[in-house]
């Protein structure tokens, strides 16, 4: 029940914050914010408290692999958004995520292999996903129902996608928990209302945020069995914040370069 309360209570708040940030500073900032493990991190804490550090370490490794699957999602959706409408782009992105997640579940990689593979996938995705350029015609006055609809859709997706996760084992649970629900909702609404370029901005920001996501779960997977739950999460949070600060500087430089 605790995880359900977390999902229902935290999800709309995060979507609200990311949507407001996107309107204030651009869609890429919204994607960058939801790249952090804002829900998967607390869920990992519940898993550790309920099932022990061994289970939590395995789930964290699965979540690190989820960053690789998210990179595949971003590449497929981002490139499709140049020409296709959002339902087709979403279908291609979801298929790419499913293929990557399925491959990782069938043949899980050890951490020394998974880490460089994930970082390489994220770096490649930053190159392959168009950054999107909005014109004055694209920037519209968004309807009042936009943000409430985002909050409702995201909450329904989070609860539905993770309801069966405890039955599927730690590795698959970690992978499923990393489906980019928040970024998908942000991208879909941006795509529908402002065009493919706005969705590409969301995804590009998400990719920068995923480096902190990967750092969090790598640190957790490596340390939680050695230093315990409190120490492992403290180290993981510190790693994520440090990396996220660096990615924000990178985003600012990229925006000033444009």
Q: Residues 21-38, buried b or exposed e (16+ Cβ, 10 A)?
A: bbeeebbbbbbbbbbbbb
d(CA 139, CA 101): 35
Any idea which residue has 């869920």 for tokens? 43
Dihedral of CA 247/198/158/20: which sign? positive
Task: Give residue 67's Cα distance to chain centre.
Answer: 7
d(CA 215, CA 119): 10
pLDDT in tens, 188-202: 888 888 888 889 988
**pTM for the whole structure:** 0.80
Taking the domains of the chain in order of start, what are their residue ranges? Answer: 2-257
Where helices occur in the chain by DSSP H, the ranges are: 2-25, 27-34, 40-51, 53-80, 86-106, 111-128, 146-162, 170-176, 181-194, 196-257
- What are the structure tokens assigned to 136, written together? 């004055």
Residue 254, pLDDT > 70, answer: no
The region, left, alpha or beta by phi > 0 then psi within -120 to 50, assigned to residue 195 is left
pLDDT band at 256; cut points 50, 70, 90: low
pLDDT in tens, 115-167: 999 999 999 999 999 886 755 444 445 556 566 766 676 677 666 655 665 66
Provide the percentage of residues in the chain whose pLDDT is more than 90: 32
| CB of 204 closer than 8 Å to CB of 70 | no
- What are the structure tokens assigned to 33, written together? 């914010």
């Amino acid at each position: 029940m605790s995880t359900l309360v977390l999902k229902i209570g935290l999800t709309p708040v995060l979507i609200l914050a990311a949507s407001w940030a996107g309107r204030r500073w651009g869609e890429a900032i919204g994607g960058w914010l939801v790249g952090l493990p804002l829900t998967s991190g607390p869920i990992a804490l519940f898993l550790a408290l309920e099932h022990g550090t061994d289970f939590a370490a395995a789930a964290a490794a699965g979540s690190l692999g989820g960053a690789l699957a998210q990179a595949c999602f971003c590449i497929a959706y981002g490139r499709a958004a140049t020409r296709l409408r959002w339902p087709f782009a979403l279908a291609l992105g979801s298929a790419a995520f499913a293929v990557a997640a399925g491959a990782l579940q069938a043949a899980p990689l050890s951490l020394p292999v998974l880490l460089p593979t994930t970082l390489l996938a994220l770096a490649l995705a930053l190159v392959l996903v168009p950054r999107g350029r909005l014109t004055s015609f694209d920037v519209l006055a968004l309807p009042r129902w936009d943000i409430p609809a985002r909050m409702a859709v995201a909450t329904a997706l989070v609860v539905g996608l993770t309801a069966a996760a405890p039955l599927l084992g730690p590795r698959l649970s970690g992978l499923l928990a990393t489906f980019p629900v928040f970024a998908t909702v942000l991208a879909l609404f941006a795509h529908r209302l402002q065009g493919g370029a706005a969705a590409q901005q969301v995804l590009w920001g998400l990719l920068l945020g995923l480096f902190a996501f990967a750092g969090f779960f790598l640190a957790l997977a490596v340390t939680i069995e050695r230093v315990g739950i409190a120490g492992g999460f403290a180290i993981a949070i510190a790693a994520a914040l440090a990396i996220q600060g660096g990615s924000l500087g990178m985003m600012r430089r990229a925006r000033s370069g444009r």
